[in-house]
Structure 1
Amino acid sequence: MNLTERLNVARGLGPINEANTPAIHSVPTHAEHDPLDSRPSGGGGGALAGLKQRAGEALFERMGSRLTDSNLSEEDLRKTAREELSQVIDEEQVPLTPEERRRLIREIGDDVLGYGPLQRFLDDDTVTEIMVNNPNQIYIERGGQIILADARFATETHLRRVIERIVSKVGRRIDESSPMVDARLEDGSRVNAIIPPLAVSGPSLTIRKFSRVPLTVQNLADFGTLTPDMAILLDACVRARLNILVTGGTGTGKTTLLNVLSGFLPPEDRIVTIEDAVELQLQQQHVVRLESRPANIEGRGEVSIRDLLRNSLRMRPDRIVVGEVRGGEALDMLQAMNTGHDGSLSTVHANSPRDAVSRLETLVLMAGMDLPLRAVREQIASAVNVIVHLTRLRDGTRRVTHITEVQGMEGDIVTLQDAFVFDYSAGVDSNGRFLGRPIPTGIRPRFVDHFAEVGIKVPAHIFGSATQEKGRR
C-alpha cells in the first residue's frame, strides 16, 4: 500500500481509485523541447565569438519592436527570429559547418529571446538553483551539491540585459536608483538581482527554481524528506484546521513543503495566498492569490505583506496561506489565527522550533506595538499549534527533523513537545549520505484529542511507544 492509499485509509475514504484520487506525478528528469533548443556550453572563441556578437546586434536591429510585441506568441517570435538570423549569418559569408551554424543560431536565440547562458540550466530539471556571482562565474546546484558551471556571460552588459528582461516581465525595475529587486520567472521560480554600486564585482543574479510539476507528498516520502507516518499526521493536522508554521534555514525547502501541505486543504475551502513573489502552486480551484508590490520610482505605491494580510481578512477566507513572515506582519498573522481563521499556514526562517518561537517574538515587536513580552508569548502559544522544522543536512538532502506541538505556557515560557525528531545515530554511508530518519518520540500530542472531536482518526502506532518522555523543551 503506497502513501496515497494509506492517506485515504486514514481519511476513511477506502481503497484508492481513479475517480476520487488525484494522480501522483513523478518529476520529469529532462525538459521536453524542440531539439534546436538544446543548450550547448556557452563561450566560443575567435571568429565564432566575433560572428556571434555581430549577428546578435544585427538581429536586434532587424527585429526591432517585434521583440516586445504582445500579439506575437513565443513560438511565432522564435520562428521569426530564426529566419532573420539565418539571413544575417548568410550575409556574413563566414564558412560554418552545419553543427556550428545550428549552435550559433541556438546561442544567439538564447541571448535575444531567452536568458543567455542561463537558459540551458533553466531547461534542466535536475538544476535547482542558479547563482551568478559576476559575468564570468556561474554556479549551479544539482542534487544538493553546488558546482561551478561551464558557462559565462560575454560581457557585464550582457548580464544586465538578461536581468532587465527578467524583471521587466513582472513589472519590476532595476537601475542605479533601485539596485536590488525580487522577481519571478513565468514558471514561478524566485529571482533576486543586485547590481552596482551595491554589487562590487558586477551584477549578481540568484534564481531558485521550482519543479515544473508540483511535488507531491509521495515525492517527499520517496526523497526521504519525511516518512509516511509523518505525512499522515500532517494531513490530519491540516484537515483538523490546526495552525501550522513551517520553519528552517535558507534553502531548506520550506516553500516546497508549504505547497505540499496546501495540497491537504479541502477543495471546498476558500484559500487566500499572500506572497512577496508568487511561488505557491495550489491545485485547488477556490484560490485567491495576492502578491506584494514595491514602491515606484517616487517612493510611492508600496503594498506590503502586512497590507495584504489585513485586506485578506475582509475577503471571507477559510484558510490564509502566507508565503513567509519576516516583519511586523507576524502580529497580524497571529491575530488572524486567534480570531477565527484557524487552519492557517506560513513559513519563517529559524534554526530550530525553539528559535522559531524566539524569532516570532522579535517579528511581532517589529510591528511597532509596545506589547509586553508575556503578551506576545501568549499570542504565539495560543495561535500556533504545530511547528514543522526542515534542515538541510551536510549531504545536501533536506529532511523534516522536527514535528513539534506548541502546548501552551508554563510561567513565562512557551512549552514545546516534539512528536517526531530526526535520529542522527545511524551515521553516514560511504558516500557521505545520512542514514538516519525521523522517528516518533513516543509522546502522544495533545491535539490528537481535537482530532477525535472533529472525527479525524489517526493510527495510534505512528507515535511510537511512550516508554520515556523525551523531546520536551
Structure 2
Amino acid sequence: MAGDLFAGLDGGFDALQRRASRIVEVLRGTAVDVPPYDPQAHGPLVEFDGVADYEEVDRYWVNAPYAFVFIGFDAESDTHYYHVVEPHLDDFEQTVLDQLYDDIRDALIYDATTDPDDREAVLIAQMQRLLSEYSIDVTPNAFHRLFYYLHRTFEGFEKLDPVMQDPHIEDVSCDGYGLPLFVYHTDYTDIETNITYEQQELDSFVVRLAQQSGRHISIGDPVTETTLPDGSRAELALGEEVTPRGSAFTIRKYSEEPFTPATLVDYDTFSLDQMAYLWLAIESNKSLLFAGGTASGKTTSMNAVSMFVPPRAKILTIEDTRELALYHDNWLSSVTRGADGGGGDTITMYDLLRSALRHRPEYIIVGEVRGEEAMTLFQAMNTGHTTYSTMHADSVQTVINRLENDPINVPRAMIQSLDILCVQTLTHVGDERVRRSSVIAEIEGIDQRTGDLDYSTAFEWDPTRDDFEQRDSNVLDEIQDERGWSRSDLLRELRNRKRVLQYLVEQDVTDYRRFTALINEYYAQPERVVARVTDALDSDVAAAAPGVVE
C-alpha cells in the first residue's frame, strides 16, 4: 500500500526520498495519539495574505479553525468578492490525502451510522490506522488538515461545504464548467466567489447531490428538483443538453432556525400593526395566501405566521420539497413523491391534499399552489378548513388571474372563500435590498353588478417613505361580529397583541421556541402576559429616559 501511496511522484527514488525526509521532518509527531487541536500550542491551520486588488471589508469563520470567508471590495468596479480560505496542502500531503480517501471510503461505508459524532470517530480511527500502515508520522496540524478535507468530502458538500456552512448565504448558483460560483449574501447580495468546478468534478457532484436525496439524474433524464439531506432545496441539471455551459445547480439553503414574526417586524418586512392583524386573523380561522416573486420571502412569511396557530389545533402541511418547519405539537407533515422516490407510484400534492381532508385538520398549509391541487384547496376552504399557501405572482390582480385561468382554473365563486391575500416584494430601499409586504388585501366577494371579484386593501407599503399605510378592514369587522366584541374590545385586543410583539422585537427573541412559548402563554393567560410585557416595556422606557439613575 505504501508503494501505491508514493506512485506517480516525479523525480525518481532519490527525489522521493529527499521529499519524504523533508515531510517527515516537518510532520514529526505520532499517528496513534493525536491530541485535539489547540491553536495556542499548534498555531493556525490556515494562512492567508489577502486577495490582490481587493480591500478587505469583512472576515469571519464558517468552520473554525479550518475555514473562513474573506469579503473583498474593488472600488474601481464597485464589486464585492467572496473568497473561501481553507488549509493549504503541499504536493506530498495532497498525495497522502488522495490515498487516504481511496482507503477510507469503503471503511466509512461499512461503518455507516446515523450519528455524525460516531462517523467522525470512525474517520479519525481509520486515519490513525492507515497513517500508521503508511509509516508516516504527522504533527497535530497536519493530521487536522487532512481530517478537514476528508470530513468535508465524506460528511459535507466537498468544496462547497464552507459556503453551505455560512449562515449569511441564502442561495448558491453554479452555472457551468469552469465558471465562478455565485452566492446571495444577506449583507452583500449577489456576489462572485473563488469556487469553480471542472467538468468531471461538477458532473460527479451533481450526481452525488441527486443520489444523496434519493433522486435519479442522468444524461437521459438530466433535470431534477430535490431536497438535500440538510433540508435545502436544489435544482440540478446534468450535462450540456439542457444547460449548454455544462452541469449546473442552484441551492436554496434551508434555515434550521426559522424566522419568527418578530424577526420579520425587526427587518421591516411587516409592521407591528400588520403582524397583530395577521395574528388575530389566524386565530380567527381566516384563510391566507402569500404571493410574490422569486426570493420575495413568501414561504418564510407563511412559516413565520404559522407560529400564531393556537397550540392544540391540528395542522397538516403539504409540500413538494420540505421547507416548512413548525414548532407545533399537533402537526402532520407530508411531502410529495416522484416515481423514483420509493419504487412505487407518484404521489402528487393533489393526492396528499385529498388525503389530508380525511385527517380532519383544522389548518391546512400547502407549500405552493400551481395546478389541480388549487381546486381541492379552495374546496377545503369552502368546507370550513383554514388554509394557507403561496403562489408566484406580483400583484393581487395577477393572483386572481392565475387562479381563474389555466392550469389552475378555480371558479370565481370559490375564490371568494379566500379571506386575505398578502403580496410580498424583493426591492431596494436606498442601496439596500429588502423584502417588504407590499399589499395586504381582503377578498370581499363578487360584485353583483359587474360579476368581478371585489377586493379591498387593508395595508399598503409606501416606497417613498418606506412605511405601511393602514386602511379599513372588513376582516376585522367580521372578527368583531363573530366574537361578539364591541369596537373598543377589538382595538384593545389588537393593541395588546402589538404590545406583546413589540416586547418580542425589543427583546430580540429570534428563537422560534421562545417566541412560540410566549404566544401559547398568551392564549392561555392573556391578561398576565400583557401585564408582564407592559411592565418590561415601561421599565425599558424609564431606563432610557434622560437623567434616570438605575
**What TM-score range do you get, normalising by the shorter chain?**
0.7 to 0.9
Q: Is the 8 A contact 2:287 2:420 kept in 1?
A: yes
Per-residue Cα deviation, 1:373-417 (whole angstroms, up to 9, x for no partner): xx8112112x21100111000332111111111111122211121
SS in 2 for 1:459: helix
Is 1:376 matched up with 2:408? no
Alignment pair present for 1:397 and 2:434: yes
Deviations 1:314-359 (A, max 9, x none): 1111111000011111111111111121x21000000111111111
Give the residue type in structure 2 aligned to 1:241.
N
Counterpart of 1:236 (choices 280, 283, 287) is: 280
In structure 1, distance between residues paired with 2:358 and 2:415: 23
CA apart distance, 1:48:
3.5
2:444 to 407, 420, 423: 407
Q: Is the 8 A contact 2:290 2:391 kept in 1?
A: yes
Contact 1:236 1:451 in 2 (8 A): no
For the residue of structure 2 that corresponds to 1:242, the secondary structure is coil
Report the Cα distance in structure 2 between the residues aligned to 1:38 and 1:80, rounded to whole angstroms.
26
Partner of 1:177: 220
Larger Rg: 2
Matched, 1:162 2:205: yes
Q: Which one-letter code corresponds to 1:285 in the other structure?
A: D
**1: CA distance between counterparts of 2:420 and 2:441?**
6
Aligned equivalent of 1:445: 474
Task: Name the SS of the counterpart of 1:263 in structure 2.
Answer: helix
Alpha-carbon distance change, 108 to 443 in structure 1, aligned in 2, over 3 angstroms:
same
Residues 1:437 and 1:319: Cα distance change in structure 2 (over 3 Å):
same
Residue of 304, 313, 322 corresponding to 1:278: 322
Distance 2:236 2:462 in 1: 38
CA–CA distance in structure 2, aligned partners of residues 385 and 401 of structure 1: 17
1:25 is matched with which residue?
none
1:223, distance to aligned residue in structure 2 (A) = 0.8
1:44-78 deviations in Å (ceiling 9; x for gaps): 99x83685376235413333152364436322222
Deviates more, 1:191-200 or 1:280-289: 191-200
Q: Distance in 1 between matches of 2:233 and 2:300?
A: 12
Residues 442, 458 of structure 2: 8 Å contact kept: yes
Q: 2:392 aligns with which of 339, 349, 366?
A: 349
Q: Which amino acid aligns with 1:380?
A: I
Q: Which amino acid aligns with 1:322?
A: V
Aligned counterparts of 1:98 and 1:150: Cα–Cα separation in 2: 28
Distance 1:298 1:87 in 2: 38
1:10-159 maps to which residues of 2 (within 5 A)? 35-36=65-66, 41=84, 48=90, 52=94, 55-56=97-98, 58-64=100-106, 66-67=108-109, 69-71=111-113, 73-85=115-127, 102-136=144-178, 137-143=180-186, 145-153=189-197, 155-159=198-202
Paired residue for 1:22?
none
Give the SS at the match of 2:414: helix
Give the counterpart letter for 1:415 in structure 2: D
1: distance between equivalents of 2:404 and 2:377?
12
Deviation at 1:211, TM superposition (A): 2.4
Report the counterpart of residue 325 of structure 1 in structure 2.
Answer: 369
CA-based RMSD of the aligned residues comes to 3.3
> Cα deviations across residues 126-176 of structure 1 (Å, max 9, x unaligned)?
1111112225321111126110112233x3333333333333333222222
What is the CA–CA distance in structure 2 between the aligned matches of 1:89 and 1:149, rounded to whole Å?
34
Write the letter of the residue equivalent to 1:235: W
CA distance 1:311–1:298, shift in 2 (3 Å): closer
- The Cα shift of 1:448 comes to 2.3
**Unpaired segments ≥5 residues, structure 1:** 1-28, 427-435, 464-473
Please report how far the alpha carbon of residue 189 of structure 1 lies from its aligned counterpart in structure 2 after TM superposition: 1.8
Q: Contact (CA 8 Å) 1:239, 1:264: kept in 2 or not?
A: yes
Q: Give 1:317's aligned amino acid.
A: P
- Residues 391 and 399, structure 1, Cα contact 8 Å, conserved in 2: yes
Aligned length: 413
Q: 1:454 aligns with which of 483, 496, 511?
A: 483
Give secondary structure in 2 for the equivalent of 1:205.
strand
**Structure 2 CA distance for partners of 1:397 and 1:299, relative to 1, 3 Å:** same
d(CA) in 2 for partners of 1:329, 1:86: 55
* Corresponding residue SS for 2:90: helix
1:251-287 C-alpha deviation (Å, 9 max, x unpaired): 1111100101111111111111000011100111111
Residue 349 of structure 2 corresponds to residue 305 of structure 1: yes
Amino acid at match of 1:414: L
The letter for the 1-side match of 2:491 is P
Residue pair 2:61, 2:67 contacting (<8 A) in 1 also: no
Partner amino acid, structure 2, of 1:449: E
Higher RCO (Cα < 8 Å, 6 or more apart): 1
Task: For residues 182-227 of structure 1, give each alpha carbon's deviation from its aligned partner in whole angstroms, at most 9, with x where no partner exists.
Answer: 2223442212111123222222111111322121111111111111
Judged with a 3 Å threshold, the aligned counterparts in structure 2 of structure 1 residues 380 and 288 are, in CA distance, closer, same or farther, namely same
TM-score computed with the length of structure 1 as normaliser: 0.78
Indicate the structure with greater helix content. Answer: 2
How do 1:239-254 and structure 2 match up within 5 A?
239-254=283-298
Tell me the equivalent position of 2:359. Answer: 315
- In 2, distance between residues paired with 1:86 and 1:230? 59
Cα displacement (A) at 1:123: 1.1
In the alignment, is the contact (CA less than 8 A) between 2:288 and 2:419 conserved in 1?
A: yes
Confirm or deny that 1:366 pairs with 2:400: no
Structure 1 equivalent of residue 243 of structure 2: 199
User: After alignment, is 217-226 or 298-307 more displaced?
Assistant: 298-307
| Residue 425, structure 1, aligned to residue 459, structure 2 | no
Identity of aligned residues (%): 25
**Residue aligned with 1:226, SS:** coil
Cα distance in 2 between the residues matched to 1:329 and 1:192:
22
1:385 is matched with which residue? 419
